[in-house]
Amino acid sequence: MSKLDALLGTLDAIENPKETVAVIHAAFDETPHTVAIVEVKSDMTTTEKLEFAFMKTNSIEDAWYNNPEVTKMFDGKGCRSTSVGDMILVGKDKYKCESMGWEKI
Residues 6+ apart with CB under 8 A from 99: 84
Mean pLDDT, range 13-26, rounded to an integer: 87
Give residue 26's identity as a one-letter amino acid code: A
Q: Please give the DSSP secondary-structure letter assigned to residue 61.
A: S
pTM of the model: 0.85
Q: How confident is the model at residue 30 (pLDDT cuts 50, 70, 90)?
A: confident
For residue range 50-103, what is the model confidence (pLDDT) as tens digits?
999 999 999 999 999 999 999 999 999 899 999 999 999 999 999 999 999 999
